[in-house]
Structure 1
Amino acid sequence: MVRVHFTEGDYARVRFAARPSPVPELHAALLMLGTPHEEPLLGRWRGRLLRALPEAAGPLADLVPGGAAPAFLDVLGETREDGFSLIRSAAPALVRSEIARVYAGRRRVPPWVRALHDGDAESWRTLERAQRAAYETVLAPVWPRVQDLHRAEFTRHALAVAEEGMGAALTALAPGSRLRDGVWEWPGGGREVRLGGRGLVLLPTFHWRGSPLVQDLPERPVVLAYPAGGGLPPTPDGVAVSPEDALAGVLGRTRAELLLVLSEPRTTTELARRTGVSAATASAHASALRAAGLITTTRTGRSVHHTRTPLGTLLAAPAAGH
């Protein structure tokens, strides 16, 4: 069981990653590739990608000889380049200690890994080439789909927090998890994680199907990558979901339309006219959006004006710019 220990201040420091992070998602996919599966559909996904991976991606397997990656690969970054840069900027002492940890008790260490341990520049280029090759094969073809899925998961979590509170929203992320006495318990695995006031970043991953993947580095917020999505990794053959449809799938079509037209403050009458519903219906949907923390409503004389909150703007932005 994974047990995450909260201090009182950590509850205020829980945040949901606003966007998917390419490097953790890539590493989750590679972990899935390295795990045999009995399920036919997962097995076919794994077999197809293993056949497609270019030789240049091969060195990545050398960094996980026992199935656990060195901690200097645990980075976020909103873009692939951000993530690669964060890995390259890892402290030399961390790189050395983590390579020593994952190879402890093993007689053979690949020459390029030994060179990476020593800080060799060419070995770093080998690692970056391997990550880029793996990204182009495994993640790039499905990245738009991952973005759609993340957007929908973000919205679901935000609504759960607004309607039910943080505790219920946390336990809703994983069937069977529970929060009691300041400890969030997840089925499976076997790890104690103490936040100690550092806070927690929730990061859904759409490729991993095991216990939560935990990034727990000193003086950084703990990152918990949890399995999300429909049970199978996304494939390029899947039907793409537009940002508008992803938003509507969570909020409902009319509420999503109301949120999108609130690019500037509008009255209830204007909302009704722009979405083609009655004023009473527009008012009822606006009340639901307000309860979820997505809009605010102010009255000036006889006029009622609705305005998106920062959270509402964040959720609407991808669909509005589509």
Structure 2
Amino acid sequence: MPTNTAQQGLLYALIAYGLWGFFPLFFKQVTDLPELEVLAHRVIWACVFTGVVLTLMRSWKTTVTHLKNIRVWAALTFSALLIAINWGVFIYAVGEGQVLASSLGYFLTPLVNVLLGTLVLGEKQDKFRKFALVLATVGVLWQIIALGELPWISLVLASTFGVYGLVRKQAPVDTLSGLLIETLVLCPIAFAYWYWLLDTGQDHFMESSFDAGRLVAMGILTSVPLLAFAAAAQRLSLTVVGFLTYMAPTCHFLLAVFLYNEPFGTHQLISFALIWAALVVFSGGALFNKGNEAQKKAG
């Protein structure tokens, strides 16, 4: 285990984004099961696993404080609904052979965050970010006009995760406690659906130990990268974390094109190229502004 704080942070970040990046591989293993059943068990076992981790870390004192906070519950009820939609659409995308669409969605997320910052928080954006938003918009419009279809999977993934990030940023709660509360909000719905599956003889969990193992694994896989990300964020600068954000959708893209052989023609290439250009402008502007700030402080 690296002893340097930055090295530890980088290791945790690689674990988090590596797992997120290879999520399509994991979720391809449950495409034979109903998507809503996978989602329900993802919620239930993520909740159980998070509770176990809190117990092992002896962190329940802080979590109990959050559990008594009405403001936290209100914010996380909303974020829970957003993340449930995000998880559900991602499971659907993998099952329907639309990993390329999920890749585009998560590439768009940082730019959605900029848009939300402008519209919701009233943040002033520099010329780099404004130009990046224009390029990203053109990239999405290209798909709509050239392919004649709305990239709804990409847009739903990007918008739900973007708004989710905004809500979580403003909620006074840590990552682990937040995940526990979000899954607790969703658990009654998940358990009700599981009961309906049992009652109608459509349940796979109780019928097969293999299916049960796969469904439990989906819940654990949901929690582990979040824990690793939280550890990385404490040890790395926001700039480094921001660049590593692109690792997961890049993995999705490579898996979609080279492993799953999803259609990737000229129009998709142009659309992705515009989004990638937007991200280059966005990231380059962040580095430029940071350099200027450092020079001003030095001067």
TM bucket (normalised to shorter chain) is under 0.3
Greater RCO (CA < 8 Å, at least 6 residues apart): 2
Larger Rg: 1
Under a length normalisation based on structure 1, what TM-score does the superposition of the two structures give?
Answer: 0.22
Structure richer in strand, relative to its length: 1
